[in-house]
Structure 1
């Protein structure tokens, strides 16, 4: 009885969220008057211009480019750094392997808000050092990318360590008998076998980096350096005074819908990658 009630509650929560996403999409096609007078009705005349007005008002062009570059490059670097670390931890027989994995798990419990002051201090120090002593130039988006990657590594290493522990050792032993060294075994054998786990970590980091807001506000001070979530906050500030609520909902759709589609497309793989090796 209890499992059935739990399943019903979960499905109700899923349906509610899907309806909420669809409702936001409908509001983005209404003018401001219809948003208030008929919030649950269909758009009388779809206002597609809301998307162009939101795109221009919030400078979404540069923000979208920043989001695409930081999200794509950041997710790739996170997987590139976390996969070898997770493989080493999952196969190491030294006593430090267990505590190190625990330290990565502890990193998940540290909220970014508690690191706000150190992050700002480190950002200013790095900017001064690079501009005055190294290159004579520095872009805060590079600093943002560094912090995004560093703060995402604990979760990625922890998940991949559990997944790689579930992979059979016999395949690696067969590769060693055939003359493969550790690096070649990792690249040719382990990575293909760990593809579901890598896809899980990649997609979850793409979603996390795409929606990251606090770090952007702390590190990227100018509008041309900010990503879509920060640009959406600026759009909210401007649209609430102009009462262009349809344009505001259009901005939310531009930010949220790509990640919803991505998660619906790869949701099963994400669950498989998260649950594999859970008992190891």
Structure 2
């Protein structure tokens, strides 16, 4: 074999290196496709509509009825000229019974939120980390519970609660809140626990820690972001809940803020106190809006961490 043939054989034996893969474009640097452009337009239009609606709500709460109907998007003037800019809020607070309703709502939402997370966390941990037989089917069953609108079960639920004398009762409403919120919270925390690293759990098992101690001492601190996210989402949802409170509560002393506002609506409309009615809506909406704006980053972080696996 000649030298040229030897070199050709050796060159043929050497594997051909593939060209390096072209790196992906950085987010935001890709060209806008027509579909993506349409999606951005829809999102920004929806955002602008909500900002406009929020501005109308806040501005309307400082206006007299004439300003609300004649100049709906103008800045409020008359009440500020009179020196009583918060007259609508004072009227709504005093006539809607928001004082007692505010205390009831805070206590009810706090108790229900803590109970929901306290029950959901160990359930989600068992479904996602302990290898329980049938855990996949049970997780799917929980997900199906998320897809059942509570409006479809509200009549049989009311009948069942009436038979055990838990209608027009804050404890009964508390139980309903907890039961209807468990599927979403368990599903959320299941995804979050699955995203946690296995090494720490294995190290705890090597050290002789029981599953209960591992959950309490190792996994719960790691899952703190997900637990806080679940608590915030549930608190916002229960704070604004109206239909269940409307069905299950009839006594003024038991009213939540949303239920008290519903009762206040007829009186405010009858007296043409539309500014007071809008102020009542603002009293309910603004606290949760401020809470969401302050904790938005934590909520988003908790939700995205739960999508790790």
Q: Tell me the TM-score normalised to structure 1 length.
A: 0.92
Q: Which of these two proteins has the greater Rg computed from alpha carbons? A: 2
Counterpart of 1:156 (choices 185, 189, 202) is 185
Count of residue pairs the alignment pairs up: 271
Structure 1 spans left out of the alignment, 5+ residues: 129-137
* Residue pairs, 1:258-269, within 5 angstroms: 258-269=287-298
Q: Give me the whole-angstrom Cα distance separating, in 2, the residues matched to 1:51 and 1:8.
A: 36
Which whole-Å deviations, capped at 9, do the CAs of 1:104-157 have from their partners, x for residues lacking one?
1111111111112212112212217xxxxxxxxx97100000110011000000
3-state SS of paired residue (1:127): coil
The aligned counterpart of 1:88 is 126
- Counterpart of 1:19? 52
2:210 match:
181
In structure 1, the residue matched to 2:245 is: 216
Which residue of 2 is the match for residue 126 of structure 1? 164
Deviation at 1:231, TM superposition (A): 0.9
TM-superposition CA deviations, 1:163-215 (whole Å, max 9, x none): 11010110111122233222221112111111111111111100111011111
Contact 2:142–2:187 (8 Å) recurs in 1: yes
- Please, what is the CA RMSD of the aligned residues? 1.7
SS at match of 1:187: helix
1:36 aligns with 2:36: no
Distance in 2, Cα, partners of 1:61 & 1:81:
31
Distance 1:11 1:123, change over 3 A: same
* CA distance in structure 2 between the aligned counterparts of 1:151 and 1:243, rounded to whole angstroms: 37
Q: Which residue of 2 aligns with 1:132?
A: none
In the alignment, which of 141, 145, 169 is matched to residue 198 of structure 2? 169
CA contact (8 A) 2:168 2:251 kept: no
Give the unaligned 5+ runs of structure 2. Answer: 1-32
Larger relative contact order (Cα-Cα within 8 Å, sequence gap ≥ 6)? 1
Taking the aligned partners of 2:250 and 2:271, their CA distance within structure 1 comes to 24
Q: What is the CA–CA distance in structure 1 between the aligned matches of 2:254 and 2:157, rounded to whole Å?
A: 17
Q: Give the Cα separation in 1 of the matches to 2:53 and 2:256.
A: 24
Structure 1 residue 12: Cα displacement: 3.0
Distance across 2 between alignment mates of 1:253 and 1:241:
20
Q: Deviations over 1:40-89 (max 9, x none)?
A: 11111333111111011111111111110111111000000000000000
Give the structure-2-normalised TM-score.
0.83
Farther off after superposition, 103-112 or 41-50: 41-50
Helix, strand or coil at the partner of 1:22: helix
Give the structure with the larger helix fraction.
1
